[in-house]
Amino acid sequence: MHPNPAFRTATLAENLAFARARGFGVLSVNGPDGPIAAHVPFLLSADASFAEVHLARSNPVARACLADAPLPALIAVSGPDAYVSPDWYGVEDQVPTWNYVAVHLRGRLEPLPEDALRGHVDALSAEHEARLLPKTPWVSGKMSDGAMPRMLRMILPFRLQIAAVEGTWKLNQNKTDAVRAAAADQLAQQAEAGAQAIARLMRG
């Protein structure tokens, strides 16, 4: 996380809401030969005390956790990001930077019983299908007999017991309002969606 306290002012509720809305991050642990990571969808519990994920049986993170659970672990959740040119500030002696939003969920990763997998997968799909309304939600019951159990045999459920939540919202809070607004105006004109999203957050 960025050490500047100007970028660390989001509340716990704001950081958790961001992580919950994204629902996707990079899960990392220390493996036998150094850091290893997996890109995973996750489901944050209602009280945010844990996040559930699933991993392919052959995934190195899964193997590391099964061999030595529980493992210290981190889910890094990234949001929009954008390059900021020093020319956009309208004042002298600035340098290039990168604005972004990121939240870290830190805790201990442990395997769940395999019979928890179906409930996890159904809850995860229900969470994201609900965001597609008025589309009729997909449910696993639509699959032909035997198809879902066969696919579930390829993955395993895990739970990250969350001990700490850290967030960085780096949006030029260390600049004056006028300088920040000038950069946001320029970002809003960029074609890249991340730049436009950062501009909206800077103005918010």
Pairing of strands 155-170, 97-111: antiparallel
Position 146 scores a pLDDT of 92
Which tens digits make up the pLDDT trace of 131-165? 999 999 999 999 999 999 999 999 999 999 999 99
For 129-138, the CB contacts below 8 A with 24+ separation are none
Which tens digits make up the pLDDT trace of 76-116? 999 999 999 999 999 999 999 999 999 999 999 999 999 99
Distances (CA, A) of 139 to 121, 123, 127, 179, 189: 10, 10, 11, 49, 40
CATH number of 5-174: 2.30.110.10
For 48-111, give the secondary structure using H, E and C. Answer: CCEEEEEEECCCHHHHHHHHCCCEEEEEEEEEEEEEECHHHHCCCCCCCEEEEEEEEEEEEEEE
pTM: 0.93
**Residue 40, SS3?**
strand
Q: Could you give the percent of the chain with pLDDT greater than 70? A: 100
Domain ranges of the chain: 5-174
Position 117 scores a pLDDT of 95
Q: Could you give the percent of the chain with pLDDT greater than 90? A: 97
The DSSP 8-state label assigned to residue 29 in this structure reads: E
Position 32 scores a pLDDT of 85
Q: Is the pLDDT of residue 24 over 90?
A: yes
Which tens digits make up the pLDDT trace of 35-51? 999 999 999 999 999 99
Position 204 scores a pLDDT of 87
**171 — pLDDT class (breaks 50, 70, 90):** very high
The average pLDDT across 189-203 equals 97
Mean pLDDT of the chain: 96
Residues in Cβ contact with 193 at an 8 Å cutoff, skipping those fewer than 6 apart: 80
**Residue 27, SS3?**
strand
